[in-house]
Amino acid sequence: MPVPTQTTPTLPASKQDATRRMSRTRRLARTVAAALAGVLALSVAGTGIQAFAEHRERSNHPAPGTLVELPDGRDLHVQVQGGEQEGPTIVLESGAGASSVAWAWVQPALARHATVVSYDRAGTGWSDGDPHGTDVDAVITDLRYALGQLDLPGPYVLVGHSLGGHYVRAFAAQHTDEVAGMVLVDPSHEEATAVTGMDPAAMAPMFAVYRAATRLGLTRLYDPFEGDVPLLPEPQRQQALGQQHSTTGAAALAAEMAAVDTVGATLPSGQALGDLPLHVVIAGGGATDADDRAVMDSFVELRQGLTALSSQGTSTVLDSATHVSIVTDQAHAQTVTDAVLDVLDQARSTTP
C-alpha cells in the first residue's frame, strides 16, 4: 500500500514578497541599531577620554599668571611681566580663540623694556567662559577691571593680533585717553568680506563641527587648526596644543569666529586716531597658488590702509609670515617686538 506523502503549503507570491521585505526590514533595523549603538559607545568613550585628557592637562599646566576674580564671579587669567621700567604699560590682545601663550616669544622680549600684560579672554586659556557669549563691550570691561585690580593704570600701548585688532581699536574708541599707542598685527578688517569675498560667517558651520569633534576627543587624533603652534617655545607649545584640544577652547574659538563681522561692525565708521603712534605689521606669506596670492594681496592692501587711521601710521609687510606664524615664529615675532618698541618709544616721547 503506497505511503502518502506530505506536501508543504506554498504561500502565494504576494505573501512571499511581503515576508522577504519584512525580513530585509528587520535586518536593516538590526544593522541600524547596531551602528547607532556603536556610535553611542564611541561617543561615550571619546567624551570620557577627552575629560580625562583635559584633567591631566590642567594638572600638568596650572595657570602661570594671576586669576583675577571678576564682579560676576568668573576668573580672568592675566600674565604680567616686567615692571621695573617706566610706562606706558603694554597690553597684548590675542587672535580669535587664542590665549596669552601665543605671545610666548613677544612678551618676554618686551618685558625687558616695559611692563607687559597678556591675558586670556573669556573661555580661552585659563579664563572661565562667559555664559553671555562674545561681546565687545564685555571683553573691554573684563580687561579694564583686571588691569585696575592689578594696579596697572593707563595709558597703554595696545597690541592686537587678528581679531584682537578689532578689540584694541574698539578699546581706543571707547577710552581714547587711556591709549598711548597701538600696534595691529595682521589685524582683522571690517571691510574684508566686501573686498575679498571671504565671509567669516560662512565658516561658522565648520567651527561648529570642530567644537563637536573636540568634545568627542577627535581633534586629538587630527587637528586642522594646529598650524604653526609647534613653532612656540616650551612649555607654551604644549599649553597651546592642550588649549586647542579643550572643549571650552573650541567653544570660544567657534563663538569668536562666528562673531567676527559683528565685532567689526561695532567699530566707529571713519575711525580716526589723530596723531597716535600706530604700526601695522602684516603677514604676506602663505599663498599656495595664483588665486590665494590675489586674495593675500587684497588683504595686505586692506591692512596697509589701516595706517591712515593715524597721521603717525606706518606699516611693515613680512612676505615670509603667515597669519599665525607672525606671532608664533621666533623671527617673525621679533619683527612684531621691534614694531611695539618703536611705538613705545614714540609714546614715551609724547606722553607727559
Of 73, 216, 215, 91, the closest CA to residue 150 belongs to 91
Distance CA 83, CA 101 (A): 19
pLDDT of amino acid 27: 58
Task: Give me the residues paired with residue 182 across strands.
Answer: 158, 278
Question: Cell numbers 570691561 label which residue?
Answer: 141
pLDDT of residue 318: 95
- Beta carbons within 8 Å of 226's beta carbon, 6+ residues apart: 241, 244
For residue 162, which amino acid is it?
S
The C-alpha atoms of residue 266 and residue 190 are separated, in whole angstroms, by 9
Beta carbons of 333 and 327 less than 8 angstroms apart: yes
Tens-digit pLDDT profile for residues 5-63 = 555 555 565 555 555 555 665 655 565 555 545 444 544 555 565 555 555 666 666 89
Bridge partners (DSSP) listed for residue 116: 81, 90
Contacts 24+ apart (CB under 8 A), 222-230: 225/253, 227/322, 227/324, 228/322, 228/324, 228/325, 228/328, 228/329, 229/324, 229/328
Distance of alpha carbon 148 from alpha carbon 164, whole angstroms: 20
pLDDT at 193: 74
Q: What is the pLDDT of residue 42?
A: 46
Report how far residue 350's alpha carbon sits from residue 352's, in angstroms, rounded to the nearest whole number. 6
Alpha helices in the chain (DSSP H): 13-60, 106-111, 136-149, 163-174, 192-196, 204-215, 236-244, 247-258, 260-265, 290-305, 325-328, 330-350
**Residue entry with cell 594671576:** 66
Q: What CATH class has 66-350? A: alpha beta
Domain definitions of the chain by residue range:
66-350
pLDDT of residue 192: 78
Residue 304: what pLDDT? 95
SS3 127: coil
Q: How many CB atoms lie within 10 A of CB 142?
A: 23
CB 311 within 8 A of CB 81: no
Distance between CA 59 and CA 65 in Å, rounded? Answer: 15
CB 279 within 8 A of CB 303: no
d(CA 91, CA 287): 30
Residue 3 in grid coordinates: 505511503
DSSP at 5: P
What gap in Å lies between CA 179 and CA 166, rounded to an integer?
15
User: What pLDDT, on the 0 to 100 scale, is given for residue 259?
Assistant: 78
Query: What does the alpha-carbon distance between residue 347 and residue 180 come to, in Å, rounded to a whole number?
Result: 6
- Dihedral sign (CA 175, 188, 122, 109): negative
> pLDDT (tens digit, 9 = 90+) per residue, 79-120?
999 987 788 999 999 998 899 999 999 999 999 999 999 999
Please identify every stretch of the chain with a pLDDT value under 50, giving residue numbers as ranges: 36, 38-40, 42-43
